[in-house]
Chain A
Amino acid sequence: MPSEARILRFPERASGRRSPGDVLAIATDYLSQDVEERKALDVESTYRDLDVLLSICGALRERVNSNPSEVLAEAGRIFAWVTQQGRSLGYFDERDFFLGESALLAGSACRLLGENADAELWLDRADASYRHTINPTPSLTRVAYARLSLRYDMGRYKDVLELLPSVALTFEKLALHAELGKCHLLEASSLKELGRTSDAAARLQVMLSSPELASQTALRGMAMLSLGNIRSQEGDQEQALAAYRAAQPLLESSERYSTLADLKGLVAEMLRQLGQISAAVDAYRESVNDHVKLGMQTRAAYMRVVLSEALLEAGRPREAEWELLAALPTINEQKMVPEGFAAVVLLQESVRQRKTDPQALSELRQYLQTSS
């Protein structure tokens, strides 16, 4: 090439293009290593290939519900690495896209881990980066959906129902069926929380019969779980159990471990309503252990409070105290209740005196149930 042909140097390109299968294999191999072991690796060589980085982000999207702690660690690392690279990373808008993508992943993981303030900050970062990409609409809509999920977690169900249709409409226009399905599930869950159970059940039935969601195992499992919960609340325990049974294999095959942990909690609740208190205690315990394993501290603390109630009901006050002693530090540290919340103060004192106050326990459970 003559010297005047290229005024500026174009970036070096890799000599051979890898197939998507090869790229996925590199990403899978990298992610198969323990998060702690990955720290010792040379991330530069892995992340520098943006095809591989894109594939890692895709794999993390699939994992966020099953392993939020791992996703948070990896996404945070990607965000820091991309930030370090400056404007020279990739072509056109790729730096902004990867910043947005890693921030959205971290935000979604934080939400699942109950770290709501951090989740908001990560979602703000995602917004700020995606805004500068060439086609920001799908990405910004995914952030909007994550924000509504956060509002749902905060108990702001009316806000969710008001704002969700706009998000759903965008997903529908973009033919993002899985994302649209998530919106319908969030809508049904909000309707349920507001006591509109028949509207919620109808929405879930439509979802479950939708051909677009036939291959969305995780979503179908979650819809089935939610339907089971509604049937249980309506007193139809037979239908509830059938729905829970149908949900379990769907959630297992899609590796939705946090939802499976919730399923155990719901089964426990049903058993408790049926008067099978000992079996309910075992199921609650399994749910607590699963949440702990997943690093979902606030959810585990909530389940411990519910378990304590069941243990008191079963005439096992000492075990109830142990569960509360394990839950109260998280409740305080994670600010799950306002400072000086009377029920917590009373509980702490009653546990210290080895005479758990059932009224204070019930008030705390009710507060956490409506706020978490």
Chain B
Amino acid sequence: MEIPDESPAQSAESLFEHEIESVFQETLGLIHIALVSHYCMSEQEATELEKDLFVWFRRFCYRPGASPKDNRPFLLVACCQFAREYQRYVVDSGVRSADAQLESILKREPSDVAHDFSRSLQLYEFRRSDA
């Protein structure tokens, strides 16, 4: 008989942590597209923001209310909200000028943008399960 290294509580914690990381990793591609292609961030800016987003998402999943998988739509909302706040600050402080594409997305509500991305994610998952 093998003696497990972890207690049942530790094991449950590890599983939970693993689930959080999986959900984040699975959504990361979409997040990156949102930040770079839609919110016009540089690759490095996007990478830095993704790190912050992970710290937030991990703690968010420990709040009472939902499983990491159920929290995926909120991860996208947070991504769009953070990206908009960041770009608005950069544009308003005159460091960067906004082109038509950036101006258009900054006018939209982050939750609406995230909703569109969620639909893309659902389509992706549908294709993946179909395959």
Residues of A within 8 A of B (CB): 1, 5-8, 10-11, 13, 19-21, 50-51, 54, 58, 90-94, 97, 134-135, 137-139, 142, 174, 176, 179
Q: Do B90 and A7 touch (CB < 8 A)?
A: yes
Whether B89 sits at the interface, judged by CB under 8 Å, is yes
Q: Chain B's interface: helix, strand, loop or mixed, by majority?
A: helix
- Which partner residue on chain A sits nearest B63 by CB separation? A97
**What residues of chain B lie closer than 8 Å to A10, measured between beta carbons?**
48-49, 51-52
Whether B55 sits at the interface, judged by CB under 8 Å, is yes
How many angstroms between the C-alpha atoms of A301 and B60 in the bound complex?
42
Point out the residue from A54, A91, A92 that lies within 8 Å of B62, measured CB to CB. Answer: A54
> Interface digits, B17-51 against A, CB 8 Å rule (1 contact, 0 not)?
10000000000000000000000001011001101
- Which partner residue on chain B sits nearest A61 by CB separation? B64
How many angstroms between the C-alpha atoms of A54 and B63 in the bound complex?
8
**What residues of chain B lie closer than 8 Å to A5, measured between beta carbons?**
42, 44-45
**What residues of chain A lie closer than 8 Å to B44, measured between beta carbons?**
1, 5-6
**What residues of chain A lie closer than 8 Å to B124, measured between beta carbons?**
none
**What residues of chain B lie closer than 8 Å to A135, measured between beta carbons?**
60, 63, 65-66, 71, 74
Residues of B within 8 A of A (CB): 10, 13, 16-17, 42, 44-45, 48-49, 51-53, 55-56, 59-60, 62-66, 71, 74, 77-78, 81-82, 86, 89-90, 95-96
Q: Do B13 and A176 touch (CB < 8 A)?
A: no
Least distance between A86 CB and chain B CB atoms (Å): 16
Point out the residue from B49, B53, B65, B89 that lies within 8 Å of A137, measured CB to CB. Answer: B65
Known contacts A91-B52, A135-B71: A8-B59 contact under CB 8 Å: no
Least distance between B50 CB and chain A CB atoms (Å): 11
**What residues of chain A lie closer than 8 Å to B82, measured between beta carbons?**
91-92
How many angstroms between the C-alpha atoms of A94 and B78 in the bound complex?
11
Point out the residue from A1, A6, A21, A91 that lies within 8 Å of B56, measured CB to CB. Answer: A91
How many angstroms between the C-alpha atoms of A142 and B10 in the bound complex?
27
Point out the residue from A6, A21, A142 that lies within 8 Å of B13, measured CB to CB. Answer: A21
Least distance between B58 CB and chain A CB atoms (Å): 8
Q: Do B95 and A138 touch (CB < 8 A)?
A: no
Q: Do A139 and B13 touch (CB < 8 A)?
A: no
Q: Do B65 and A138 touch (CB < 8 A)?
A: yes
**What residues of chain B lie closer than 8 Å to A97, measured between beta carbons?**
63
Q: Do B52 and A176 touch (CB < 8 A)?
A: no
17 cross-chain CB contacts under 8 A: A1-B44, A5-B42, A6-B44, A7-B95, A8-B86, A10-B52, A20-B13, A20-B17, A54-B62, A58-B62, A90-B56, A93-B78, A94-B59, A134-B77, A135-B60, A135-B66, A174-B66
Q: Do B96 and A7 touch (CB < 8 A)?
A: yes
Q: Do B78 and A134 touch (CB < 8 A)?
A: yes
**What residues of chain B lie closer than 8 Å to A142, measured between beta carbons?**
64
Least distance between A303 CB and chain B CB atoms (Å): 33
How many angstroms between the C-alpha atoms of A139 and B63 in the bound complex?
9
Q: Do A11 and B45 touch (CB < 8 A)?
A: no
Least distance between A239 CB and chain B CB atoms (Å): 36
How many angstroms between the C-alpha atoms of A34 and B40 in the bound complex?
52
State the 3 A-B residue pairs at the shortest beta-carbon distance, nearest first: A138-B65, A5-B44, A91-B56
How many angstroms between the C-alpha atoms of A258 and B125 in the bound complex?
49
How many angstroms between the C-alpha atoms of A89 and B10 in the bound complex?
29
Give me 19 other A-B pairs in contact (C-beta within 8 A), A7-B96, A134-B74 excluded: A8-B90, A10-B51, A19-B13, A50-B59, A54-B62, A58-B62, A91-B56, A92-B78, A93-B78, A94-B59, A97-B63, A134-B81, A137-B65, A138-B65, A138-B66, A142-B64, A174-B66, A176-B64, A179-B64
Least distance between B44 CB and chain A CB atoms (Å): 4
How many angstroms between the C-alpha atoms of A87 and B4 in the bound complex?
44
Q: Do A176 and B63 touch (CB < 8 A)?
A: no
Known contacts A134-B77, A138-B65: A13-B55 contact under CB 8 Å: yes
Q: Do B48 and A6 touch (CB < 8 A)?
A: yes
Point out the residue from B48, B53, B56 that lies within 8 Å of A94, measured CB to CB. Answer: B56
Q: Do A176 and B45 touch (CB < 8 A)?
A: no
**What residues of chain B lie closer than 8 Å to A174, measured between beta carbons?**
65-66
**What residues of chain A lie closer than 8 Å to B96, measured between beta carbons?**
7
How many angstroms between the C-alpha atoms of A176 and B77 in the bound complex?
23
**What residues of chain A lie closer than 8 Å to B49, measured between beta carbons?**
10
**What residues of chain A lie closer than 8 Å to B63, measured between beta carbons?**
54, 97, 135, 138-139
